[in-house]
Chains A and B, each alone.
Chain A
C-alpha cells in the first residue's frame, strides 16, 4: 500500500549512456561474423604465412622445421612457377576478354523485347550457376577424341580429317580449357551488363533519336558511357576470380599435358593436394595473394583515373 502512495519514482539512470549501449549492441551483432570468418579466413591466412617459412611436407615429418625464406628462394628458381604465371596470364586474358565480348552481345540481345524472353534469359544464364565440376565434365565429354561431340561436328562439317585429342595435345589444351571457361563466364557478364542496361533511362535514347542520332551513335555516346562503371567493376572482379579459379583446369587436365595448362592456382593446389608439400603450397599461395593485391591497387588507381576523366 505504501508503495502505491509514492509519486513517480525517478527512473534509474542506466549504467551506460545511450550511445555507449548502441555501440555495444553494434559490436554484439558482429560477434557471429567475427567467429565465422576469423576461424576460416583470418586465422588460416596468418597460418599460411607462418607455414610458408617452414619445411612442411606431410609425408616427411622428420624433415619438418623452420627454414626462413628458403621456400621463397625456391619459388624464384622454380621454372614451373614462372611458366604457370605466364599460363595464368593467357588463361585470364583469353577467358575474360571473350567472356566480356560474348556477355556484352548477349546482354544487348536479351535486353530487346521478344516473345519467350524470360525463358531464353534463364536458359542462357544457366552455364554460370552449375557446379564447376559439372562444367568440366560436360566439356571433357565433348572434347573426347573418339566419341566426343566436337570432333564429330567438325568432321561432318568438313573442317577436320583426323580426330583430335583436344585435352591431350599441348598446343590445343589451353585454348580448349579457355573455351570451356568462356562458356561458363559469358552469363556472368551478360547478367551484370543486362542489369546496367535496364538502369539506363529510356528517355535518353528517345531524346537522341529525336535529335537524329543513329543507332551506332546512340550505342557509342549513351550505352557505353552509362555502362562504364559496371564494366570496370565486373571486369576487375572477373579478372581476380579467374586468376584464382582452379576447379575447371584441375578436373579437366590437372595442369597437363606437360604443364601446358598449369596455372598458378592449380600449381598451388597440386602442391598441397597431391604432393602434400604444405610449406611450398603456402609460399605459392602467399605469392598469389600478393600478385592479386598489387593488381587490385593498380586497377583501382587506373579506374579512379578513368572516373576523374569522365
Chain B
C-alpha cells in the first residue's frame, strides 16, 4: 500500500499563513461595520460629529438607548413590541399552515401535486414590489390599513412558500412505515402526524419557524406601505421613519440599529447549525 505523501509547499502555505490572513480579513470585513455602529451608539453628540473622528467613546453612555426607547416621536419600545407581535404571529401561522401543506404534499399522491410544488417554487421568484399596489388597495378596501392583521397576512406571501418547500423535504426523509404501523394500531392520519412525524421532524420545523420569524422581523416594504400611524410601525419601518425626521440623529439611530439586530442575532446562532445541516442533507439528496 502506498502512503500518502507529506504536505507539499502549497499545502503548508494554504494551511498556515493564507488561512490565518483570510480568516482575519473575513472577520474584519464582516464585523467592522457592526463594531463601528456599536461604538457610535455609546457616543455623545459631540463625539459623534467631531473632526477628526473620535473612534472610542470616552465613557459608556446608554443615553442614546434610553432616548430611542422612550422617545415620544420615535418610540422604539412600541416599535419593538409591534415587531415582536407581528413576527411571532406570522411565525405561528406560517408553521401551522406549512406543516399541514408540507405533510399533504409529502404523503398524499393526488392530482395537481406537481403543480402545487411548482407554484410554491415560482412564488419565491415574485418581486415584493409586485404585490405592493394590489395588496394596498385590497387592505384599503377591507379597512385593514394600520392593523396587525394586514401585516401578518401579507407576510405569509413570502414566508409560507419557502417553509412549505423546506418541510416537504423534511417529511419525505421520514420513513412512511412508522406512520403506517401507527395507523394499523388505530391511529388516525392526524394523530400519526402529531405523534410520529412531528417529533421526528422537530429540528426542521424549528428551523423553518425561526426562518419565518427572522424574515418577518426584517420586512420593510409592507410595513411602510400598510401602516401610516407611528404607533403601528415595526422596527424596520420605525428606523426608516427616523431617517425621515429633520436631520439624522445617528446616536439614537445606532442604538435603534443595535436593538433591532440583537433578537435575530440570538436566533441565528441557534438556526445556523440546523441550517447548514439541513442544507447539506439537501445537497446529498440533490
Contact = CB atoms under 8 A, between A and B. Distances in A.
Interface of A: 22-23, 25-27, 29-30, 32-33, 36-37, 39-41, 43-45, 47-48, 51, 105-106, 109, 112, 114, 120-127, 129-134, 137-139, 141-142, 144, 146-147, 149, 152, 183, 186-187, 191-192, 194-196, 198-199, 206, 209-210, 212, 214-216, 229-230, 233, 237, 240, 243-244, 246-247, 250-251, 265, 268-269, 272-273, 278, 281-282, 285-286, 288-289, 292-293, 296
B218 A289 contact: no
Interface in B76-107: 93, 96-98, 100-101, 103-105, 107
B138 interface: yes
A100 to B, nearest CB: 15
Given A25-B108, A132-B220, A147-B49, 18 more contacts: A37-B123, A41-B126, A51-B137, A120-B23, A122-B268, A133-B220, A138-B36, A152-B52, A191-B279, A195-B280, A206-B4, A229-B283, A244-B129, A246-B129, A250-B220, A269-B221, A272-B133, A289-B127
B63 interface: no
A198 B164 contact: no
B130 A29 contact: no
Contacts of B107: 26
Nearest to A252: B243
Interface string B132-144: 1111111000000
Interface string B1-40: 0111100101100110001001100110111111011001
B246 interface: no
B26 A106 contact: yes
Contacts of B30: 123-127, 183, 186-187
B272 interface: yes
B257 A138 contact: yes
Given A22-B108, A131-B236, A246-B221, A288 B283 contact: no
Given A105-B22, A209-B5, A147 B108 contact: no
12 contacts: A44-B130, A105-B26, A120-B27, A127-B30, A133-B220, A187-B30, A196-B279, A243-B127, A247-B221, A250-B221, A285-B133, A289-B126
B110 A23 contact: yes
A27 B108 CA distance: 9
Nearest to B153: A40
- Choose among A36, A194, A288 the residue with the greatest number of B CB atoms under 10 Å from its CB: A36
B44 interface: no
Given A30-B101, A32-B96, A199-B284, A109 B26 contact: yes
Interface of B: 2-5, 8, 10-11, 14-15, 19, 22-23, 26-27, 29-34, 36-37, 40, 48-53, 93, 96-98, 100-101, 103-105, 107-108, 110, 116, 119, 123-138, 153-154, 156-157, 160-161, 164, 189, 214, 217-218, 220-221, 224-225, 235-236, 239-240, 243, 250, 253-254, 257, 260-261, 264-265, 268-269, 271-272, 275-277, 279-280, 282-284, 286
A124 B27 contact: yes
Contacts of A125: 30, 268, 272
A212 to B, nearest CB: 6
Given A36-B156, A199-B280, A138 B129 contact: no
A109 B22 CA distance: 7
Contacts of B127: 243-244, 246, 265, 268, 285, 288-289, 292
A26 B37 CA distance: 50
A142 B224 contact: no
Contacts of A25: 104, 108, 189
Contacts of B51: 146-147
Contacts of B23: 109, 114, 120
B189 A292 contact: no
Nearest to B94: A36
A194 B257 contact: no
Contact of A41 (B100, B157, B224): B157
B176 to A, nearest CB: 13
Contact of A30 (B93, B104, B134, B275): B104
A186 B30 CA distance: 9
Contacts of B128: 244, 246
Contact of B276 (A152, A191, A230, A292): A191
A133 B4 contact: no
A210 B261 contact: no
